[in-house]
Structure 1
């Protein structure tokens, strides 16, 4: 399936690029650099999709150290290759793209090697394939879950791309400031993704065992640790946000504008942390329909609120906070239904 999607991306790379530029206007020089970067990295789609599959397998088997090892190796290869290609060979944006491309395939090769050496792989027989093909219910459930996650991801991309587009429409300075501020959100989201992966793996185990007691304990533990980290990030951004901005750039005008919105950024961790945790629990229990419905509602709120508010960057961030808050709140309301499925599935 990953190979089919990769082939589709290769075939559609030109219309994809044109579509992106329609939604995110840019100067001709920026468009040319972005197009060069995209045309090189698109060839890494098989590696990226294949690695997603293997990382999902490792997490499902509760071997979280393996994805961490892969990520470390990938980043080291990316840094070293990019430095050599850019600083030594002078390849500029092409060098950065090729360095990333090499890192993607290095990560895939390492993941394949770990899969072959760390896990027992019984040889599939003709009887095994026949049994799998006859189990239509499992196939239907598999594609339903993938459909829900795919549509949810489309909503996520729509919000992310539109956020950038709406910001760029307010000028290059606003776009630069928002790009910096988004690093605050991304830093927090990377940490919370670890909790989401734990929710997927452990939630899936307790779902399979119909262990509602441990599932409820997992839910409480995730919320407890998630809220503690959210508070830590909120305080860190509140007291150290200006320092972090100065580490990211030395442009005084960009820092000044970004500092104006730091109070809104401080609200992101506490408003949005639950969304990551529930995403993990819902994927682990295959309750992806609730996750999709929540994401659709949150996406509609984002676009609707931004359309109603005055066209300003504050409005954009308020719409984004509403989007995160909706995901957290609505999924929390769905949780009792998800908990019931843990006890009653396949009965």
Structure 2
């Protein structure tokens, strides 16, 4: 098995960082294209429709993480049959989940518009958008599985090719369908659906080894022990992710209680955290793949090496981002908003943003390590404890410090996650020895 080097970590992480960089571009183009229609309703419809679908699909993000952890371990063990079967199981779940969303689309969208009501015109256009895009649900969810499989095998260049191809096709069809054909909101939805079809087609080709090697027989796919392990891993990850999302949702709601200007400032500053996630994801993904392979190979030394080398790059990236946010933060804020009061308010909380990558890097890297080791129960329990501490911190800090207390509470959440998982890390080494 190849040595774990800094170059190998960068080879895994680099394409993920570049792939993530293309994600915001698509949203900007979708908004910009419908904005050329000169009406506010289409912009709102595409925006709310995209948020509804991304919120629904986000629930199935466990499929990406679970597939990476399980398949990387099978790869480390040298079990080619299980490497293929792991992808097939994930695709079956994706297909069934996507079909379920199509069948339940009427009550799902009804509930979404009750939670986030819109004007009659916006809701009507958004329903058009959703009615087209929902047919891509099995495709969108299956892309989580394909991506997880490619990451597990260190084939992140394939992830980059997949993301860039889909986004480029989507942008091109956006321009054609909306600006040339005049299809409006339906054109934006159709462009995305076609790009998803093309994306899954390309993903099948990129993952063709799993389909053509003859190892993915039904007996392997429906192995009871493997299915039970997959169900446990994915359930733990899903619960952990729901708790994490609930924490950020609470942050947004509590920020709204601080006034409109503070709410707007928080929204601007949260974009810095999105940038941080996009930039540092690659190193956490490298940890997932390399740690998983080390656990599969029952090598504690390789596990330590994978954790240390990937984390060194993660920490380096966090330090760099923190410095950039501290030095260039005011300029970035001015790019994001022209409102003087919002600019002033955002600058007041900028030190929290500069500190966020440094405080959060441990939790992000341990997430990658624990996913690779499939210590998902420990991840879930660490998140439960961290959320409890977070709630307590908010209860104490917000009355005393206002919005500074809100940001401090978010730092407490990430710091607690990092500390808690650090204490549980020895279990990864126990598992690598084959004793867990």
**For 1:253-332, what aligned pairs fall within 5 Å after superposition?**
253-310=341-398, 312-332=402-422
Deviation at 1:73, TM superposition (A): 1.6
CA–CA distance in 2 between the matches of 1:174 and 1:92? 34
CA–CA distance in 1 between the matches of 2:332 and 2:288? 32
Structure 2 residue aligned with 1:342: 432
Q: Which residue of 336, 340, 361 corresponds with 1:252?
A: 340
Q: Which residue of 298, 301, 321 corresponds with 1:233?
A: 321
Q: Which residue of 256, 281, 297 corresponds with 1:193?
A: 281
CA–CA distance in 2 between the matches of 1:132 and 1:234? 45
Deviation at 1:299, TM superposition (A): 2.4
Task: Calculate the aligned-residue CA RMSD, in Å.
Answer: 2.9
Per-residue CA deviations over 1:171-205 (Å, capped at 9, x if unaligned) read 44433322221111111111221111111111111
CA–CA distance in 2 between the matches of 1:30 and 1:260? 38
Structure 2 residue aligned with 1:47: 139
Structure 2 residue aligned with 1:129: 218
SS at match of 2:251: helix
CA–CA distance in 2 between the matches of 1:330 and 1:316? 21
CA–CA distance in 1 between the matches of 2:317 and 2:328? 15
CA–CA distance in 2 between the matches of 1:327 and 1:30? 43
More deviation, 54-63/76-85? 76-85
Structure 2 residue aligned with 1:65: 157
Structure 1 residue aligned with 2:307: 219
SS at match of 1:310: helix
Structure 1 residue 108 corresponds to structure 2 residue 200: yes
Structure 2 residue aligned with 1:5: 97
CA–CA distance in 2 between the matches of 1:176 and 1:70? 34
| Paired residues of 1:202 and 1:284 also in contact (CA < 8 A) | yes
| Paired residues of 1:231 and 1:269 also in contact (CA < 8 A) | yes
CA–CA distance in 1 between the matches of 2:286 and 2:418? 18
SS at match of 1:281: helix
CA–CA distance in 1 between the matches of 2:360 and 2:390? 14
Structure 2: runs of 5 or more not aligned: 1-92
Structure 1: runs of 5 or more not aligned: none
CA–CA distance in 2 between the matches of 1:187 and 1:261? 17
Structure 1 residue aligned with 2:256: 168
CA–CA distance in 1 between the matches of 2:129 and 2:257? 23
Per-residue CA deviations over 1:148-174 (Å, capped at 9, x if unaligned) read 111112112222333333333444443
| Paired residues of 1:36 and 1:93 also in contact (CA < 8 A) | yes
| Paired residues of 2:397 and 2:408 also in contact (CA < 8 A) | no
User: Against the structure 1 CA distance between its residues 338 and 159, is the aligned structure 2 distance closer, same or farther, given a 3 Å change threshold?
Assistant: same
User: Against the structure 1 CA distance between its residues 66 and 159, is the aligned structure 2 distance closer, same or farther, given a 3 Å change threshold?
Assistant: same
SS at match of 2:338: coil
User: Against the structure 1 CA distance between its residues 201 and 131, is the aligned structure 2 distance closer, same or farther, given a 3 Å change threshold?
Assistant: closer
Deviation at 1:268, TM superposition (A): 0.9
CA–CA distance in 2 between the matches of 1:130 and 1:318? 51
| Paired residues of 1:78 and 1:99 also in contact (CA < 8 A) | yes
CA–CA distance in 1 between the matches of 2:272 and 2:121? 24
CA–CA distance in 1 between the matches of 2:99 and 2:272? 34
CA–CA distance in 2 between the matches of 1:285 and 1:339? 9
Question: How many residues are treated as equivalent by the alignment?
Answer: 341
Deviation at 1:29, TM superposition (A): 7.6
User: Against the structure 1 CA distance between its residues 222 and 47, is the aligned structure 2 distance closer, same or farther, given a 3 Å change threshold?
Assistant: same
SS at match of 1:286: coil
Structure 2 residue aligned with 1:141: 229
Per-residue CA deviations over 1:113-165 (Å, capped at 9, x if unaligned) read 2223x65622358xx433554x4322221211111111112112222333333
Structure 1 residue aligned with 2:74: none
Structure 1 residue aligned with 2:9: none
